[in-house]
């Protein structure tokens, strides 16, 4: 059962230099649901995530989180409000151990006595991280690094999880394993906005979705409705058609 609107984008426009990468984007995510933004590489999906998180500034439009307007606020303040990002490319600290990476994610936990409990919750989802606790992040495989990036975000105990292309660069078998872990996170009640090129995997765990083409939302619907839609052709570039199959 989903609740009130947690995240709302109203006419968001943002970009880089003189180029608007996203234009007039409106969407919403309700508490307790997983929403996906689907689209080809370069469609504007990651720019949308960055604008929500405050990594780049919105040119126009509004971003509301938990009833408060957040665009224009510093990314650190947005994180403190309860939004955690798993960035494209993972961006873990390669020279730090798995434990040190996870503890960086725990910086917002005021009651330090609760940190072991939160760690155990992460290890319940990603048991491999417990085994790799003393290993440096840079020595992990790509799939293990993605687990670590997800675990670090969960240590923030977020109200909303932003996932930017979590399957990118991973072998199909690893993607399958990762989505099993994501399903565990969803089953615990996490609210999430998932950006993906892999339509099949994203629709497996999401409630609703939006399709983005050239920086604009061109279609929206439930997961079931989007699953019955041909999302290849004009929606995806030729190189991404297989992902949409």
Q: What is the pLDDT of residue 244?
A: 34
% residues pLDDT > 70 (the chain): 93
Q: Give the pairing of strands 216-222 and 208-213.
A: antiparallel
Q: What is the pLDDT of residue 242?
A: 33
- Measured CA to CA, the distance from residue 218 to residue 64 in angstroms comes to 22
- Measured CA to CA, the distance from residue 125 to residue 146 in angstroms comes to 13
- Average pLDDT along the chain: 89
Mean pLDDT of 133-154: 93
Q: What is the pLDDT of residue 235?
A: 61
Q: Is the pLDDT of residue 238 over 60?
A: no
The number of CA neighbours under 13 Å toward the Cβ of 205 is 28
Please write the tens of the pLDDT for every residue from 203-232: 999 999 999 999 999 999 999 999 988 776
- Measured CA to CA, the distance from residue 112 to residue 106 in angstroms comes to 9
Q: What is the pLDDT of residue 232?
A: 63
Q: What is the pLDDT of residue 217?
A: 96
Note every long-range contact of 176-182, with CB atoms under 8 Å and residues 24 or more positions apart, other chains counting. Answer: 176/201, 177/143, 178/143, 178/146, 178/147, 179/204, 179/205, 181/125, 181/126, 181/147, 181/150, 182/150
Q: Is the pLDDT of residue 234 over 70?
A: no
Q: What is the pLDDT of residue 236?
A: 62
Please write the tens of the pLDDT for every residue from 169-208: 888 888 898 899 999 999 999 999 999 888 888 999 999 9
Q: Is the pLDDT of residue 55 over 50?
A: yes
The larger pLDDT score, comparing residue 105 to residue 186, is at 186
* C-beta of residue 167 within 8 angstroms of C-beta of residue 198: yes
- Structural domains in the chain? 1-82+159-245 (3.40.50.300), 88-157 (no CATH)
Dihedral of alpha carbons 150, 168, 232, 176, sign: negative
């Amino acid at each position: 059962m989903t609740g009130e609107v947690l995240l709302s984008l109203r006419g968001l426009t943002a970009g880089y230099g003189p180029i608007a990468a996203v234009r007039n984007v409106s969407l919403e995510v309700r508490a307790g649901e997983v929403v996906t933004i689907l689209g080809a590489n370069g469609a504007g999906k990651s720019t949308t995530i960055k604008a929500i998180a405050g990594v780049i500034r919105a040119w126009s439009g509004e971003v509301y989180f938990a009833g408060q307007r957040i665009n224009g606020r510093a990314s650190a303040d947005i994180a403190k409000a309860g939004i955690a990002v798993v960035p494209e490319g993972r961006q873990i600290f390669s020279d730090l151990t798995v434990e040190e990476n996870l503890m960086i994610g725990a910086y917002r936990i005021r009651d330090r006595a609760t940190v072991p409990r939160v760690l155990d919750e992460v290890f319940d989802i990603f048991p491999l991280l417990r085994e790799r606790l003393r290993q440096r992040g840079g020595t992990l495989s790509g799939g293990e690094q993605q687990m670590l990036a997800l675990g670090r975000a969960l240590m923030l105990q977020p109200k909303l999880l932003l996932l930017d292309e979590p399957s990118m660069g991973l072998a199909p078998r690893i993607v399958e394993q990762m989505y099993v872990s994501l399903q565990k996170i969803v089953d615990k009640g996490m609210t999430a906005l998932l950006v993906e090129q892999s339509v099949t995997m994203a629709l497996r765990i999401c409630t609703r979705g939006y399709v983005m083409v050239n920086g604009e939302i061109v279609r929206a619907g439930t997961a079931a409705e989007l699953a019955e839609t041909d999302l290849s052709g004009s929606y995806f570039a030729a190189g991404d058609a297989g992902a949409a199959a």
